Amino acid sequence: MKYQQTNPVPVPASGPYGEVEATMHSVFDWEYALRRQNLLTLYEKGKANNWNATDLDWSTEVNIAKMMTDRASAGGADVFNQVLAPPKELELSESIELQLNMNAFMLSQFLHGEQGALLATSKIVQTVPWEEAKFYAASQVMDEARHVEAYHRYLTEKLGISYEVHPSLQVLLDDILKDSRWDVTFLGMQIMVEGLALAAFGLLRMMMPDEPLIQDITTRIMADESRHVAFGVMALENLYTKEMSERELREREDFVIEATHLLRERLLMHQIFERLGWDEKLWVPWATNTPFMKGFRQMTFSKVVPNLKRLGLLTPRVRAAFEQLDLLRFEHMKDSVEEPEAAPPEELVQLLMQFLAQGQEAEAQALHA
């Protein structure tokens, strides 16, 4: 593995290394009973489906600005202005700059989330009591190293724009790593962060149909992530419904509600407007409230909500919090055991199709003019 970090990822003001103090119990399983057949099957799948990031076609030319310009060769800025209704009419160059940065911002948060998954899952190897879960977690650790590698190479060698970790994502990753309870690591990482990422990757793939390298990276990573989320669901099955006291369950409810708020905030992109030097007072509320971005943020919970329901965590308190965020609409969707992949919800597909179709319409009109 060798690549050019033409544009390195910016280092946070706090410095190049971030330390989180964690207290945890490293557990040996001397029984080696290997009772959980579903985890052993998943472990076999994990080993069989390993891939190498160096197999991707890194010679692919990635020029997102050109891609956006081609897409918008006629009236592209208008499409952006019409569908996304920004607070100020954008010139084509401005709309391209914004989209470039939004794409880089999203991918950068994926990268940092992947590093969080690498650390959290290595912690699971230590803390989870059953040997078969340690086996699978070890195979996931390898997956996560590869995901960090692939996104990092893509950002630094191909895209050339990247962002540091969003403060809300950082807080959540720190919380997950600090917590000594092994089930909370699963709940935070496999159920919340990876459940959300799985849905977000699906959306990225839809938004970039004309960029083959990111399509390939995302498709491979999504296949791994769907196993990781299934791992969390399998490991926590029955724990919250049968084995926990009311007080313990209440702590998990608090964790889920807090994590949901942090994960939503991580998609509020004030860092972009700060970097572009655009008026944050004008742009942050837009990024928060425009129907497309709202739809995007909600859609990323389309796998998290049914998985929480399966685990018995869609309790009255969690429901009340989700009701306010309009997230209960996903409760009847399929969970990760019923359907491991995450299909984007229909309404968001419609919204996106509208966006792409208007671009084509504008192009057709320009051709006939």
Please say which residue, 143 or 335, places its beta carbon nearer to Fe ion. Answer: 143
> Rounded to the nearest whole angstrom, what is the least distance from the CB of residue 228 to Fe ion in the complex?
4
Please say which residue, 77 or 137, places its beta carbon nearer to Fe ion. Answer: 137
| Residue whose structure tokens are 């419609």 | 350
| Residue whose structure tokens are 């950002």 | 155
Q: Are 351 and 295 in contact (CB under 8 A)?
A: yes
> Rounded to the nearest whole angstrom, what is the least distance from the CB of residue 194 to Fe ion in the complex?
5
The residues binding Fe ion (CB under 5 A) are 114, 117, 144, 147, 194, 225, 228
> Rounded to the nearest whole angstrom, what is the least distance from the CB of residue 51 to Fe ion in the complex?
13
Please say which residue, 94 or 175, places its beta carbon nearer to Fe ion. Answer: 175
- Between CA 219 and CA 341 the distance in angstroms is 11
> Rounded to the nearest whole angstrom, what is the least distance from the CB of residue 113 to Fe ion in the complex?
8
Amino acid, res. 163: Y
Please say which residue, 114 or 253, places its beta carbon nearer to Fe ion. Answer: 114
Please say which residue, 179 or 225, places its beta carbon nearer to Fe ion. Answer: 225
> Rounded to the nearest whole angstrom, what is the least distance from the CB of residue 140 to Fe ion in the complex?
6
Please say which residue, 100 or 111, places its beta carbon nearer to Fe ion. Answer: 111
> Rounded to the nearest whole angstrom, what is the least distance from the CB of residue 221 to Fe ion in the complex?
6
**DSSP assignment, residue 266?**
T
- Between CA 116 and CA 122 the distance in angstroms is 10
| Residue whose structure tokens are 């491979």 | 220
Instruction: Write down the H helix ranges in the chain.
Output: 37-48, 64-71, 76-84, 92-127, 131-153, 167-178, 182-186, 194-207, 212-236, 246-265, 270-276, 280-289, 291-299, 304-310, 316-324, 346-368
For residue 32, how many other CB atoms are within 10 A of its CB?
A: 9
Q: In whole angstroms, how far apart are CA 238 and each of 6, 188, 245, 319?
A: 48, 17, 13, 19
Please say which residue, 224 or 335, places its beta carbon nearer to Fe ion. Answer: 224
Name 124's Cβ contacts closer than 8 Å, sequence gap at least 6: 133, 134, 137, 140, 182, 185, 186, 189
> Rounded to the nearest whole angstrom, what is the least distance from the CB of residue 303 to Fe ion in the complex?
13
- Between CA 132 and CA 231 the distance in angstroms is 11
> Rounded to the nearest whole angstrom, what is the least distance from the CB of residue 124 to Fe ion in the complex?
11
Closest CA to 30 of 116, 144, 130: 130
- Structure tokens belonging to residue 5: 């970090």
- Between CA 195 and CA 230 the distance in angstroms is 9
Please say which residue, 112 or 228, places its beta carbon nearer to Fe ion. Answer: 228
> Rounded to the nearest whole angstrom, what is the least distance from the CB of residue 169 to Fe ion in the complex?
14
Please say which residue, 79 or 148, places its beta carbon nearer to Fe ion. Answer: 148
Cα Dmax for the chain: 76
- Between CA 116 and CA 224 the distance in angstroms is 16
Please say which residue, 97 or 143, places its beta carbon nearer to Fe ion. Answer: 143
